[in-house]
Structure 1
Amino acid sequence: MARELSAYHREVAATNRATILDAATGLFLESGYDRTSLARVAASAGVSRATLFKQFPTKAELFEATVLAAGGSPDSEPADPPDGDFHAGLVTLGLAYVELLTRPRMVGLMRTVIAESARFPELRERTFDFGTLPVLAALRRYLRAEHVDDTDVAAPQFLGMIASAVFWPRLMHGTWSITEEETLRTVDEAALTIVARHAPTGARESPCGACDNGTS
């Protein structure tokens, strides 16, 4: 039976993990997946290869961890959605998702996934569990709390409407940009669509954010 680590050793392991992930992220973004070796990551992080291999036995596992870490930093917990207003709650979580998508490291790492995965089966076959990211987990909890019947349908629909306007054009065109007003409208329209399609009947009278601008 494995002996449980002491609080000190758990803290050392957590510190090493954070240092390794930071070093790995920088190397993956600078050199790509192919030219980033575990040995280079260990040297850059200032840890032994044994320490790195204990936490990340393969480069594919390390790369997956860097992607998830880029979207799961301690300050990435979204604000609590307001009670009693399904539309406003969705907007709160939608804006938190925008913040996640527009982080420089997240965009760069996703470019690496797309560019490199075709050549590296071990990377292509990894399962990136994005559902563990705080904002995505919070969205699923919120949809369940609002008694949405099929969160597995509603959540991807909501996130997809936002990503199609905020993330994918940025990923494909490095100089592309979207204004704050356009971003707010994108999130508002996505929220209104989810309210109309998935909200319980009594919650479908949420106000239209665009109506404030004099439109109907």
Structure 2
Amino acid sequence: MPEGARRQALMEAAAAVFIRDGYAAASMDRVAQEAGMSKRTLYRLFPSKAALFEATIHDSLIPAHMDPELAREPELHTALARMLEAAGRHLLALRPVGIFRLVIAEQGRTPELAETFHRVLVRRGATALQRQIGLEMERGRLRPGDAEATGRMLYGMAFGSMQIRLLLGLREVPAAEEVATLAREAVDIFLNGMRREETRLQVSPARLAVAAG
């Protein structure tokens, strides 16, 4: 097995163990067993449980397969909606939600988990959606501003309420169709405020109600 595939298998096994057993109770032995690999291989790739957890967070937060064609989509609404949808499908799946829950649940006992989580977020830099918003601001199709903050607000408008309910266990992981619908509705509202005045969209009250959840 190529080393990259070994790393990926170990991180997937680690995510399952961390989410099921909790960080403190999770063991490197269990991760190696879950992945069907030796402890020697595990420690060669990840020298400690902390290093493995950080790599697992990074892998869980960053979509592995963002379609590069999305950045070349000429129609602004379509490009933003599809990027937002891709982010939602990834971050609202079982594994990332499980990691979020774990960090929150163990923050009191193991505060370094929250520090690790924050460090990964900072190191990740701008997301594809935030970069695209920045590019559109430079092109003049969106009003200038803080692209990263704008991207976070757009994601929160589309999925913030749903993500909170997922973290609290009050709902199931959404179907792809629901994620796509929320992404489109949020971009409708977003562009109504962010486009140049002459190209604003008309958003119906019904769409506003759907996007508000």
Given candidates 133, 143, 150, the residue that maps to 1:143 is 133
For the 8 Å contact 2:85–2:183, the answer to whether it is kept is: yes
RMSD, aligned CA = 3.4
AA aligned to 1:128 is: V
2:81 is matched with: 91
The answer on 1:129 being equivalent to 2:129 is: no
State the alpha-carbon separation in 1 of the partners of residues 50 and 71 from structure 2.
Answer: 35
Q: Percent identity?
A: 27
Given candidates 14, 20, 35, the residue that maps to 2:4 is 14
What is the Cα deviation at residue 177 of structure 1? 7.0
State the alpha-carbon separation in 1 of the partners of residues 176 and 12 from structure 2.
Answer: 29
AA aligned to 1:37 is: S
Structure 1: gaps (5+ residues): 1-10
AA aligned to 1:167 is: Q
AA aligned to 1:160 is: G
The answer on 1:205 being equivalent to 2:200 is: yes
Residues 177 and 67 (structure 1), Cα distance of their counterparts in 2 relative to 1, 3 Å cut = closer
The total of aligned residue pairs comes to 200
Given candidates 49, 52, 62, the residue that maps to 2:52 is 62
TM-score (structure 1 length as normaliser): 0.73
State the alpha-carbon separation in 2 of the partners of residues 17 and 49 from structure 1.
Answer: 13
For the 8 Å contact 2:92–2:163, the answer to whether it is kept is: yes
AA aligned to 1:156 is: R
3-state secondary structure, aligned to 2:26: coil
1:5 is matched with: none
AA aligned to 1:205 is: R
What is the Cα deviation at residue 170 of structure 1? 1.5
The answer on 1:190 being equivalent to 2:198 is: no
What is the CA deviation profile of residues 94-140 of structure 1, one whole-angstrom value per residue up to 9, with x for unaligned ones?
2112211321112122111111122113312211227749xx62112
State the alpha-carbon separation in 1 of the partners of residues 78 and 63 from structure 2.
Answer: 24
Q: Which segment drifts farther, 64-73 or 172-181?
A: 172-181
What is the Cα deviation at residue 144 of structure 1? 1.9
Structure 2: gaps (5+ residues): 138-143
2:168 is matched with: 172
TM-score (structure 2 length as normaliser): 0.74
